[in-house]
Amino acid sequence: MKIAKEVLGVETQLQSRRNSKWKILVVDDEPDIIKITKINLKNFNYLGRDLEFIEARSAKEARKKIETHPDIAIAIIDIVMETNDAGLRLIQHIRNDLCNTTMRLIIRTGQPDLFPEKTIVDKYDINDFKDKVELGSQKLWAAIRLSLKEYNNIISIEANKYALKHILHVTPHLYNLKLNHLEEYFHWVLNQLICVCHLTHTGMISTIEGMLTTIDGKDIEIQASVGDFELNGFNPKRREEIIETCKAFILEDRKPYELSTGSIVIPLKTSQRIFGFVYLECSEDLKESDFELVKILANQCAAGLDNFKLHNDLEKAYDQAIDMLAVMSEFKDANISGHIRRIQELTKRLSISLGVTESDVNSYTKASRLHDIGKVGIPDSVIHKPGRLTQDEFDVIISHTKIGDEILKNFPALDVARTVARSHHEKWDGNGYPDGLCGKEIPLVARIVSVVDVFDALASSRPYKKAWSMDKIIAELESAAGSQFDPIVVTTFLKILQNGELDDLIKEYEQMRTQDYKAAFSYLHQKA
């Protein structure tokens, strides 16, 4: 209930800001009093806004009027109406039941001696307590003006507080950027900026239009636009004029005299770089305090973009490091050309089918490229031996898992790849190497790479063997599920295999097999 009332309070403030007139509720059971009040305030104007009178002949009727008009600025209330304390109960309803602390209250009673003025004024935050005979034209005028000034200040403070809460709420999202979601991000940022404008503008906002652009070198790209600035509905020539004016203001500090009245330009910049600008058109100028709130959110956006660029640069450096190491690994063994690329693709598709999160899918996919990085430390004579390995040679081969772990251990960003390099030969039943891990002790990424690595090895030709048929490979994987492999991983892999999700890769294996046959036939023909 409390939260609902707080929301109602905020909406009341916003409605009041957007209304063209100040709403004044006059509650009195004497029609003449209401009529005189309206006459005395006939030409009243404050901050360019006239008064709109709402009449109620009883406290009961006033409650309904307040419900219909939640943005009432001032209520002038008689106390003695249908009951001797009807007005007082109405005041209690406004302050306690509705939790409305913004509406200004003026008590006007014909029997002031019946009620303790100081107690009521302090308890219910009353702006004025007058005998009806005292509240003539001039005194009423002064009381209304002071009350409206206070009401407007309260709304400004509350709305600014609400806007700051809004900024604090959305700020964490400004740092949660993804390369493939940048367009959505920019639209979202622009809408948040406009939201802050609505919340903090002290006058009526009939329209707010805008666009958000980014600058990359000398090129400018519009990332988001709203209202009349929608790309398909705005005059292209005028748009270009606005962009050039804003660019000159941001980059050359030239005053934007050519822009429309009420428009604002907010740079998106940090101490290191300028990312672009936000351009907004309002129906009237923003107050300085309101503009500062918009700048705060724009600055947070710029910091988020800067953070994204740094993160993206690190991601690129990380990808380049993985690519370099993967090329080194594959260069070591020319007989497995394309193996790493296929392992990466198989890992990606299997991870997605297993329900791995998007971020982990990306991490697993990249890490799989380095599963055999440790083989750079294995002698060529062992790697390229066409026949069966001796026990000593096999001991040398299995050391590639520890060598890979050693190579990657000093690079925290490659921790997942290090896990894969060390553990992709562990077995579900604990008979693998190098640590004899069992079941779910083996990291999921290693269990995934283990299956796809064996699949690719069996489907490809090697100096010591021919490629297996798909039927034979499927039978082998099924028989090894629960002993060598995680049974769930195997079941999921066979499902995507049989569903045709790997058909493009299967076709590639078939082409390699055909090439192997042709090479073998040519070799035998030459011998003959």
What pLDDT, on a 0 to 100 scale, did the predictor assign at position 179?
55
What pLDDT, on a 0 to 100 scale, did the predictor assign at position 200?
45
Sequential DSSP letters for 104-150: EEEEEES-GGGS-HHHHHHHHT-SEEEETTT--HHHHHHHHHHHHHH
Per-residue pLDDT tens over the stretch 409-453:
988 888 999 999 999 999 999 999 999 999 999 999 999 999 999
Domains of the chain, with CATH numbers?
A: 2-156 (3.40.50.2300), 175-307 (3.30.450.40), 333-527 (1.10.3210.10)
Task: Give bridge partners of residue 56 from the DSSP assignment.
Answer: 27
What does the alpha-carbon distance between residue 451 and residue 458 come to, in Å, rounded to a whole number?
11
User: What's the mean pLDDT in 91-95?
Assistant: 93
Per-residue pLDDT tens over the stretch 4-28:
344 334 444 444 444 578 999 999 9
When mean pLDDT is compared over 41-45, 99-103, 212-216, 484-488, the highest value belongs to 484-488
User: What's the mean pLDDT in 179-199?
Assistant: 69
What pLDDT, on a 0 to 100 scale, did the predictor assign at position 3?
33
What pLDDT, on a 0 to 100 scale, did the predictor assign at position 209?
59
CB neighbour class for 363 (10 Å; exposed up to 12, middle 13-18, buried from 19): middle
User: Where is pLDDT greater, at 449 or 325?
Assistant: 449
User: What's the mean pLDDT in 505-520?
Assistant: 67
Closest CA to 345 of 325, 324, 368, 326: 368
What pLDDT, on a 0 to 100 scale, did the predictor assign at position 20?
74
When mean pLDDT is compared over 137-141, 245-249, 392-396, 399-403, the highest value belongs to 399-403
Share of the chain above pLDDT 90, in %: 35
Dihedral of CA atoms 315, 321, 325, 330 in degrees, nearest 10, equals 60
What pLDDT, on a 0 to 100 scale, did the predictor assign at position 118?
76
User: What's the mean pLDDT in 481-487?
Assistant: 96
Which stretches within 369-464 are classed as H helix?
380-383, 391-398, 400-408, 415-423, 444-459
